[in-house]
Structure 1
Amino acid sequence: MKMDCQSRSKTERDVQSLDTEKPIEWIDPVPPTSPQSLLSPSENQHTGAHQITDLPVSLVALERSLTQALLANRNTQEALFNFAQLIGEAFAVDCCLILPQDRGTPQAIEQTFQQVYSYIVSPFQYSEQLLTLFSHPRIQANLPTTETIAVDDLQALSQLTASFRQSSDKGASPPTAQSRQAPGNSSPPPSAIPSQVRSVLIQNTQYQGRINGTVILIRSQPYDWKETDVQQLQSLSPHVAVALSQNQLERQMEQQARYQNLVNQLTAAIRNSWELEQIFQLAVEGATSALQCSRGLVFLLKYSDPMYKSRSRGIPEAKVNVVADWFEPFPERLQMQTEPLGDRTIWASTCCLCRQVLTSSEPIAITSYMDWDNREIEGKTPAPFFALDRFPALLLAPLENQGTVLGCLVLQHHQHRIWEPEEIAFVKLVAAQLSTAIIQVRTLQHVQALVQERTAQLQRSLDVQAKLYEKTRQQVEQLRRLHEEREEFLSTVSHELRTPLTSMTLAIRMLRQADLSVERRTRYLDILEQQCVQETQLINDLLDLRKLESTTTTAPLQKLDIRYLIRNTAQSIAETLAERNLSLELDLPTKPLNLYTEPDSLSRILMELLTNARKYADSDSVIQLQVSYDPTQPMNQVVIALRNIGAGILPDELPYIFDKFRRGRGVTQQAIQGTGLGLALVKRLVEYLGGTIGASSQPLEQSSSWQTCFTVTLPQCPEGLMQGMT
C-alpha cells in the first residue's frame, strides 16, 4: 500500500470541546472484568436510553465552517485537511484522521486507504501503525455499518480480551454472550496497538447508500466519550461524505487523465516509429507509475516453431526474454531493487506463470501468489525473474495478435493488492498498444528486409549492367579507334601508294616514246626505280610491324660496343642529313660500352629516329645524339637520347605519336613525306629488345621552334641472359 500521509498539528489545545458534561447514557455499563465496559456499540443499548433533542449552536457554526471550507478551497484535498483540523479542534482530540474508502469490506480497508487527511496535535505522532487498530475484531465487526464506534480505553480492552483468552485456556468459565467473538476473530496483542492510542471515536461516512470513508478521533489518554460527541460526529459525517465523494471523483478523473496521457504517449511513439525497446520502457514506467505499483516488466516470446499460430495446439516450445524492467524509485526498497533476479531468458514451459499466459487471452490478476490456486501447474515453478518473494501481487496482460501470444506486460506490487476492474481494463489497453507496436515494428522490419534484399538485387543487376555498359563502351571506343585508324591507314596508304604509282605510270608512258633521248630515258628509269624502292620499303615496314606485333619470341642477343654501332649508323645517314644542311653531333662515352642486344633491330631504331629528326628539324640546325650509362637502376641501363630543333609535338598529340599511321597536324600541308609507321615500328622494336621509349617536346624561348627529344632506355644485359650467365 502506498500511503500519502500529510498532517497538520497544533502545539497546544486552545479549543475547548463541545458539550462533554453528559455521559453517553445509552451505553450499558458492564462488570470491570469484561472488555465490553470499554466499548460502546449499539448492541449494548437498553430500551431506557436517553435521547438528545437539542444540538448546540456551535455545531451549526462548525457545519457552516465545513461548508465554507469545501467551497473556498480549490480542490477537495485541501478542504479535507481543513475538515480534519476543524473537527479535531472542535472535539479537542490529539489526532483526527479522515480516510477515504474505495470498498466496504473490512479485509481490504488497509489496502484501500489511498490517502490520509490528518490533524495532529504535538507531541502526538502519526504513523502507518495507527491503522492496526482496524484489526481489532470489535472494530472490524462494526466497520461495514454506519454505527459510531466509541472505545474509552483501547489498550485496556485489548488486555482484558487477552486475559479472557488465557483464562479460557485454563478452563475458566466462558465469557458472556456479549463478549463472545466470532470464530477466527481474535483481538490483536496489546503490543500491536500503538501505545499512544488509548481512546477512539470512529464514524463511517455514507454517500448515496455506500460507505465512502471514515472519520477517526483519537486521544492519547482514556476518555469517556459522551452522547453529545457521538451525536455531533454523526451530524458532521454527511459533510465529510460529500467532500470524500468529490475527492474520489477528482482522483478518478486524475487517474483517468494519467491513463489517457500514457495511451496518448504510446500512440505518438508508435506513430513516430520509436525503437521497440523505447516503447516498452515507456509503457512499463508509465503503467507502473499510473497504477502506483512497485515494479513492471515486459517479456517477449520466441517460438521454436515459426508456424505456431493458435493456442489450440497446446503449450508450444517458446523462449521467454525479459526486454524491459522498471522499479518504483523508493529509497526504502533500494535493496529490493538491486538484488539479483535470476536468469532473464528461460523456456516458457518451465514456468507456471508463463504457461498460464500462453493459455489465457485475458489479463491474469493475482492478489497474492501464495494464495493463487494455480501457483503450481504440473509441478512447474515460477521463473526467478518474477521475484515473487518480494513482489507477490501480479497483473499479467498477454500481448497477442490474431490468437498468437507475442509476450506479456507484467505489473507487480510489494504487498498484497486487489486489482480493480478499471486497472485491469487500463493495463489491457496498454497491452493492446504494445501488441500493435510489436506487429508494426516487425512488419516494418520485414518490409525493410525485403526492400534491402530487392535493393541489393537491383544493385547487383545495375553493377552487371554497368560492367556490360563499360565493356560495350570500351568496345565501341575500340571500334571507333579502329575505324579512325582504318580511315587514316586508307588515307595514308592511298597517298603513299598512289603517289609512287602515279610517278611510275608517268615514267613508263614516257619510256614508251620512240624518239626519247638516252638522257631522258635514263632519268625516267631512275624515277621508276626510286618509286619502286619506296613502295617496297612501305610494304616491308608493314610486314615488319605485323611480325613484331604477333611475335612472342625474344631477340637473339649479341654483345657489342654500342659506340661503333652508333658511328656506323651516323655515317650511313650523313649524306642524307647534308642535303638539308643538318649536322649530327655525337656524345658518346670515352670507354667501351658493351650492350647485349640484337644489332639489326638497334640499328633500325637509330635509323628511324634519325630519319624522323631529319624530316622535322629546322634547316641548318644540329641533331644531338647522346649515349649514357645509368648503373643506379636494379638492372644497369643504357640511355640513348636524340634531340632536334624544329617542328614540335603538341601536348595532346604526345600520347599517340607511337600509334600506327598517326602523324602530327600540319604534316600534309608542309608536304613532309611519311607513312606514320616509323615511330610505331621503333616502339615495337624497343619493346622487342626489352626496353622503353619516351618523347618530350618543349617550345624554345623567343623562338617559334620546339626542342623534341626521344629517349630510348635499354637494359645492358636482359634479366634472362644475366641469370643464364651467372
Structure 2
Amino acid sequence: MKKPLSSPPHYVDDIDRLQSYQVKLMQHQEERARQLVQKINQIIANSSATALMLQEIAQLLGVAFQVDCCCLVSVADETSDEATTTTTNWCADEYLGLPHPEEMFSMEQLLMHSPVLQCAAQPLTIEDISIIQNSLVIGCQSLPLPIKAVLAIPTRFGGNNNGVINLIKFQPYEWSESEKELLKEVESACAIAFSRVAQAQLIAHQEQYVQKSKQHQSLIKQLTVLSRSNLELNQMLQLVIASTAESLQADRGLLISLKYTDPLFRTQAKKQIPKARATVIGEWATEAQNSRTSKPDTLAQSFLISECGLCQRAFMDSGKPVIFDDYTDQNETLTAAPLFAIEELPAVLLVPLESQGKILGFLVLQQSVIRNWQPAELNLVEMVCAQMSNAIIQSQTLRQVQTLVDDRTAKLQSSIELQAKLHEKTRQYVDQLQKLNELKDEFLSNMSDRLRYPLTNMLMSIRNLRLPGIAPERQARYLDILEQECSKEINLINDLLTLQKLESPHEAPLLQSIDLNTRIQDIAASFEKKLAEKGLRISVDLPEDSLKLQTELESFDRILQELLTNACKYSEQDTIVRLEAAHRVDQQIDQVIIKVTNIGRAISEEEATYIFDKFRRGKGRWTPGTGLGLALVKSLVQHLNGAIAVESLPISDSEQSEICFTLTLPQFSDESKP
C-alpha cells in the first residue's frame, strides 16, 4: 500500500514563520500608530501657542512618514464670520534653502497626472475632493518644488470637517496601504489640534470684539459727560475729536468748521459747491504720527472749499460719509488741501457735520495704511457727528439769545430735551441698523450657502467629466449630481419668485372643490418613505365623514408639503408625525382646522415671533435650509384667506417638546354658497 501524502516539515515551518511575521508586522504597525498618536496628544497638551503646536505636529508627521513636506490646513467654518483658515508647512532640511517658485503646480495639472492625489479616507466624496484641493491651493503656494504625489485626509471634529493633513512628495511615489492606515489612525488626534486652533482664533476674535465694545462704550460715556459739561465749545470739540480718533485707533483726527460767505441757512441747490471757508478747530494725532511729520500745527489753519476736491465730494454726495482707501489714486480734479498731508495719510474718512440739511463742518479721520471701516464704527462716527452738530447749533443758538435773559432758561431746557430726544433716536437708529445688518448677514450667509454648494458640486462634476478615461458609471453619477444640484437651484429661484408674486397685489385664488380626506391621505402617503428614512412614522387622524373644501389645489398641496418637510427636518428620531383635520364653526363661519405635530427641539417665544419671516431661522439650528419654507407657507395661507400659528409645548421628563403648526382655512363648500 502507498502511504498518504503529507507536507514536508520545512514547508510547514515556512508557513508558521510567515504567519508569525505578519502578526509581528501588524503589532509593529499598531504600536507605531499608538506612539504617534500619543506624541501628538502630548504636543496638544503641552503647547500654549496654537501656531507652534501645529508646527510641531507637522514636523512630527513629516519625519514619521519620511515625506518631503507636511502641510496642515485648518478648514474655516463657513457658517461663522469669525473663523479663519490657518496653514502650517514643514519641509525636509534639504528643501529649506531652495527659492520659492513664482507659480504653484496647478490643480488641473495635478488631476491630469494621476495618481498624484490620493486620499486615505474611503470612499472619497465630492466634498472631500473640494476640501483637499482647496487646502492644497491655500497651503502649498510657497513650496519650493512642484508637487508630484500627495496623500491627504480630511479631519472631522464634532461631525464637521475642520482641517486637512497633506503628505507631499516632490518625486513620483506610490503610497502603501500601511501608510494610508497609519494616516487614518492619526486623523482624530489632528482633528483635536485643529479644533484647538479654531477655538483659540474664536476666543481672540471675541476678546478683540469685547475690547472694541468697551472702547466704544467708553467713548459714548465721555461724549455724554462732555455734552452736559460747562466747557467752552471749542474745548469740548477738541476733547471729542481726540476721544473719537483715539478710540477708533486712527492715526490722525481733524475737526473742521465751515463759514459761509452767504448766510448759513440760505437755501442752496443740491450738489452745488458753496462759497465757504473751512477752518481746523480740532486736531489729534498719535505720537508715532507726530514723530514722522515735521509739518507745523494745523490748528486754526483755513482754506477755501473751492480749493479742496476732498471737501467738495461731501457736497456732491449729498452729505454722505466720504471714504477713500487711497486718496493718492484720485485724479487732479479731487486735489486735497495741503493740510490734509495726503501723501503721508492717504486713507481718509470724512463725515459731514450736518444739521437740517446744512453742512456745518467735517470730522476727518486719516490713516497711513488702508483701513476697512466696519458698519458699527461708521454708525458710531455718525452718532458722534450728530452730537457735535447739535453742540455747534446749540452754541450758536445760545450766543444769539444771550441778551434775552428772560427766555434763556426756557430755550436751554428746550435744547436739552431736544438733545435727549435726538440721542434716543440716534440710539434707536443704531439698534435698528445693527438688527438690519444681522438680518443682512444671515440672509447672505443662507443664500450664499444655498447657491454656492450646488454650484461647487456642479463645477466639480463638470471638471471630473472632462477627465480622460472616466468610466461610464462615474459619468452617469456626475450627470446625476449635475441634474440634482441644478434642480435645487431652480427650486430655490422658483420659491423666491413665488414669494415675490404673493407679496405683490395679486388676483383672488382660483377655488375648486376637493375631498379633503382623500387629499390629505395622498400627501401623507407620499411622505411615508421620506419620513421612514429618518426613522419617523406618520399618523393621520381624519373625521369619518369626508370633508369638502373650496380651495386652490396647488397652494393647499404646497402648504402641507412644506409643513411635513419641516417636521421631517426637525423631528427627533423614532417619533411620530401626526396629521389631523377637523371641522369647526367659529362665529357662524365654517372652518377647516389642520394640525401638523412633531416631537423635537423647543421653539422659544423669541423664535416664534419671526419663524414665518423670510430668511430667518431658529438660533442654534444647523439643519441646511434657506429659511424660505415657512415664509412661503404663511404667504400661501394668507393667499387662501386663512391663518397659521405655531405652538411649542414641553414634554415632561424630557428635553424635547411637542411642536404643533395649526392651519385654519375657511370652508366654502358647495352647499354653503348662497
TM-score, normalised on structure 2?
Answer: 0.37
Structure showing greater radius of gyration is: 1
TM-score, normalised on structure 1?
Answer: 0.34
* Larger RCO (CA under 8 A, 6+ residues apart): 1
